[in-house]
Amino acid sequence: MKKLKWINHPADLGFVVYGKNIKDLFKNAAWGMLNIITDLNKVSGKTITKINLKANNHEELLIIWLNELLYYYNVKKIIFNKFELKKINKTYLCAYAQGEKINLSRHTINTEIKAATYHQLTITHFPKRKIYHWQAQIIFDV
């Protein structure tokens, strides 16, 4: 099943991401964003990091989540490829991210992402859809 669809944007990168539930949506968004940076199939799961975040709503929580993962990439030089969301609601997220330190002999950096943005951000819930009940559109500053 398709987890995301690229969208055209004049200056940045963006996609529409899908999930059967809100956890799935956040996992697919994280995977899609970090896969822009490098091929996540070449990332092993040597490091596990617990992430707790608070926000005012789903939209803010999604942006904070993605930018937290970018913080680990940019500052701590860790790239994640697996995500387990233990708890999520409109204002709180508790997750475990699994990955490893960047190793330039194995991880080719394709595109640097500065941030996930609020520009054209949408999160939509479709309770009657058969496969994917959640959808988000995200634009990344590159």
Q: Which domains does the chain have, with CATH numbers?
A: 19-141 (3.55.10.10)
pTM of this structure: 0.95
Residue 124 to residue 129: CA distance in whole angstroms: 11
pLDDT tens figures, 3-49: 899 998 888 999 999 999 999 999 999 999 999 999 999 999 889 99
What one-character DSSP code corresponds to residue 80? E
CA–CA distances in Å: residue 86 to residues 3, 16, 26, 50: 20, 23, 12, 10
Give the pair of three-digit tokens for residue 102: 């960047």
Query: Looking at residue 8, what is its pLDDT?
Result: 83
Q: Are 37 and 48 in contact (CB under 8 A)?
A: no
Helical (H) or strand (E) element with 59: helix 58-74
Tell me the per-residue pLDDT of 71-103, one tens digit each, with 9 for 90 and over. Answer: 999 999 999 999 999 999 999 999 999 999 999
All residues at 6 or more sequence positions from 22 whose CB lies less than 8 Å from its CB, including other chains = 58, 88, 134
